[in-house]
Structure 1
């Protein structure tokens, strides 16, 4: 059974991404496009578009063009957008690298992507330089300044012509982000210009953003969520995007206060801080109208706590890198939709819910793996036909690996990951359900649950818990708290206290890292 959006399909412009964003600036030219939240330095839309053209010209002079791949290894700054869109404007492909990567991880991605050049910042040169060298990349450019390295300012001084590149939006790969690798080795996700353009247009009916919107961009642009939902969606409508290079709670709150950001995009770990940390009360956050969560399921009680504390609306959406990324969202203004769901299917997207055991479609109210099809779905994984075939079928259906259910209103709820379900004595135990419950305990700052083997070889739920500072919580109290609130087969049977839950830059729990602790 195929389910579709309650919204009509939207018309998809047949243009490259840079044309969608910059071809007709009009009155946007003098508006502020990007602001550095730390320093206040800004770029207007006119200056941004001009810098993109100049960088494209400079790249062409350096021999970069269609078919080439250029890496970006940088925290969020206004000049990230210049590098990103300059690469695409030159007809090349941008591969965005996690700013927290080690030199070896950088080398692996640049090698796998076939990159011939790298943009970075001086602070990251201790890992960027050996990483680039390990991949045979000799052309390294810094976005700021560093002795011995060419810099962005120098490239923007190019007087060469802007290259005229024939781009096929449906076929030419615009970006090559790498999937999080939480279930295996990271893979290059080939997203075409059409994929990115489509998802921006698909989001328009769902997200009420415009020229007066001020978006806080603390989620990294190297991840598809930050890249598309924050940066590119904001630039499409003439909003102001306020950048932060990394998450630091006092600075996060200061930027929200001083820049009066009214739309704040987060992942669930940031919701925990907003709901529970005493520092929040020291800042004027009255400018915030919407907090939008993605990247992992947001618990309804946690969302309600954030909404009460900030006096704002809290909603969430769903997607993945392979879908550019949004396939579902709670539309702005739809206060009738509970935050426990991920909202409705986006325009132009089709969904199925497939029983993982039988491969048969299930209907309303029944759990199944979520499969999606639409113009935002990736072209495939780079140089990995086996992984592509395992994820995309011949009819274009993408297997998300997430278990979900749709109700009679067309609202979708993500239940858990197919591969993360714990099997206890034949019963399925969803880790996300236990994690949401644990976070309601006032003595718990963060938590994650994985399946481990007990002495009899049975898989049992184990909770990794981060206690609140100064607390005296013990393992027995945690297990008792859960046992009082769940069916017997869902009880947490092992507890380990740790300093922090390992998570990807997008906020997803790195369960493989937690399982690795067990293997030591």
Structure 2
């Protein structure tokens, strides 16, 4: 049974993301504040932002980069990120965003896997960027350091090249805009191919349920390199001519200061930030009276936490949404005007979306009930925001997208008679830690490469506050003298901080099926 969004379809224009967001800026829009640098307070108008985007596009084209080339962007949330991201897209380049927390080897892997021809980074991340660039065989000229570094081109060089923005033409439905990396439902990170149409569509699909306005002020604590921050926050805010206050990293006192001083109205968060706003002693003393809407995503947000947050923000609407990189990302959310929907649900399908609930054992479709709640099943989604596929991985693409265009999410849901969905379990093996995806397979591959480890498995275990902690079950090699601290330090040296192993348990064997698949449920129950 195909379940359709109760929201009327929206018309999706056949334009590039640049034209969609910037082509129709009015004289009044040009004077509006687009970006505020959180630490310094420096402001950028929409007119200046568009001029910078056009200049970056010209500078990039003058360096020989052409439509279809891939360029990596490795930066925290700073105003320059927005100029560079959209400048690259304006030039027809495909952007692969790299997590600002990525280690040098992780940067190198993504550069190689994506086929990137250049890397744009910032000086605080240059050590990791340079290590990754060396792996990819880049020259120093191929690494552009936005805020400047000896021997490297800078953002100033792009802005002052004098080259006009190139006249590019492409099909928005097929031309790749971004290439974020996701682990999908399982396995190692894969390049998610998202077109200009995918990104344009998702801004428009989410807009009826998550209304933003030109007078909204939005702290950008969610990273722009993550699809949630990229689409819902950055692009959604630009589309409505809101003001975005950038934060390079999450720091609670600074976040609370920005909310109070800038009179922030909309907070896009992940559950750990929502929890801090609701419970931390500093937050209890902060002035949050300007906030009208808090939207949580990237990880489950249960009804109890939502209730605590709502009590702390009595004048704000507290809600959550659902999505994944493969859907650009939003497929569901609670509409801001629907106070009758449980905040523990993921809400309704957004506009232009269809879904199926399928029994994972039989493949049979589960009916939406006329009353009450459906049986649980895997959620499959279809819509104009669904990715083209995984870069260079046709088998994974076929395994993830059905012939009729429905994407396997790997999440087990129920749906009620009103079309409200609830996530009840996961088929996929991903661990969600502070809103980030932690793929067990990647950590397991690292662990078994250790000479003193014979076998290993990694699962997510609850920490009592709605988070999952990556826990390793380790089989020592014969004669090995290995402590839990040794294991954690070994992994920590090779991965981004959010991927660290937090708990270690030594065991005599890893339970596996006859086909050799790790029985993670057995480990979680242990």
TM-score > 0.5 by shorter chain: yes
- Say if 1:518 and 1:397 are closer, same or farther in 2 by CA, change over 3 A: farther
Partner of 1:267: 270
Give 1:253's match in structure 2, choosing from 256, 280, 292: 256
Q: Retained in 1: the 8 A contact 2:59–2:157? A: no
Contact 2:30 2:45 (C-alpha < 8 Å) held by counterparts: yes
- Structure 2 counterparts to residues 377-396 of structure 1, below 5 A: 377-396=386-405
**Within 5 Å, which residues of 2 pair with 1:326-341?**
326-341=330-345
Deviation of 1:519 (Å): 6.7
2:468 aligned residue (436, 448, 454)? 448
Matched, 1:164 2:173: no
Pairing 1:280-429 to 2, within 5 Å after superposition: 280-311=283-314, 312-364=316-368, 365-420=374-429
Question: Using the alignment, how far apart are the partners of 1:506 and 1:298 within structure 2?
Answer: 24
Matched, 1:202 2:197: no
Structure 1 residues 53 and 307: alpha-carbon distance in aligned structure 2, compared to 1, 3 A threshold? same
Q: 1:517/1:18 Cα in 2 relative to 1: closer, same or farther (>3 Å)? A: farther
Counterpart CA distance in 2 for 1:80 and 1:386 is 33
**How far apart in 1 are the matches of 2:40 and 2:194?**
33
Distance 1:506 1:327, change over 3 A: farther
Aligned to 1:188, the other structure's residue is in SS state strand
Counterpart position of 2:156: 153
Change in 2 beyond 3 A, CA 1:506/1:277: farther
Shift of 1:145: 2.1
Q: Which runs of 5+ in 1 are unaligned?
A: 423-430, 440-445, 455-497
Structure 1 residues 363, 212: CA separation in 2 closer, same or farther (over 3 Å shift)? same
- Note closer, same or farther for the CA distance 1:205–1:220 as it changes in structure 2 (3 Å cut): same
Of 262-271 and 316-325, the range deviating more from structure 2: 262-271
In the TM superposition, what is the alpha-carbon distance from 1:412 to its structure 2 partner?
0.7
Shift of 1:289: 1.3
Q: Distance in 2 between matches of 1:46 and 1:238?
A: 11
Tell me the CA shift for residue 225 of structure 1. Answer: 0.3
> 1:450 deviation in Å?
8.1
Shift of 1:143: 1.6
Distance 1:518 1:187 in 2: 30
Q: In structure 2, what is the equivalent of residue 14 of structure 1?
A: 14
Aligned-pair CA distance for 1:518: 5.5
Do the aligned partners of 2:473 and 2:505 also contact (CA within 8 Å) in 1?
no
The alpha carbon displacement at 1:395 in A equals: 1.2
Following superposition, the deviation at residue 309 of structure 1 comes to 1.3
- After TM superposition, the score normalised by the length of structure 2 is 0.82
Q: Is the alpha carbon distance of 1:163 and 1:419 closer, same or farther for their aligned partners in structure 2, counting shifts above 3 Å?
A: closer
Aligned equivalents of 2:503, 2:195: Cα separation in 1: 35
Whether 2:56 is the aligned partner of 1:47: answer no
Give the TM-score normalised by the residue count of structure 1.
0.83
Distance (Å, rounded) in 1 between the aligned partners of 2:288 and 2:506: 41
In structure 1, distance between residues paired with 2:462 and 2:344: 14
8 Å contact from structure 2 (residues 121, 146) kept in 1: yes
Matches of 1:67 and 1:183 in 2, distance apart? 28
- Aligned residues between the structures: 456
Give the secondary-structure state (helix, strand or coil) at the position aligned to 2:182.
coil
**Residue of structure 1 in register with 2:104 after alignment:** 103
TM-align CA RMSD: 2.7
Residues 194 and 376 in structure 1, CA contact (< 8 A), matched pair in contact too: yes
User: Which residue does 2:447 correspond to in 1?
Assistant: none
Secondary structure at 2:112 match in 1 = helix
Provide, for residues 182-209 of structure 1, a one-character-per-residue CA deviation record: whole Å limited to 9, x for no partner.
8321100000001001101111211110
Task: List gaps (5 residues or longer) in structure 2.
Answer: 369-373, 432-458, 475-487, 509-526
Secondary structure at 1:340 match in 2:
coil
2 CA distance for matches of 1:318 and 1:373? 14
Moved more, 108-117 or 153-162: 153-162
Instruction: Give the Cα–Cα distance (whole angstroms) in 2 for the partners of residues 68 and 256 of structure 1.
Output: 39
Kept after mapping to 1: 8 A contact 2:471/2:502: no
Specify the SS of the correspondent of 1:201. helix
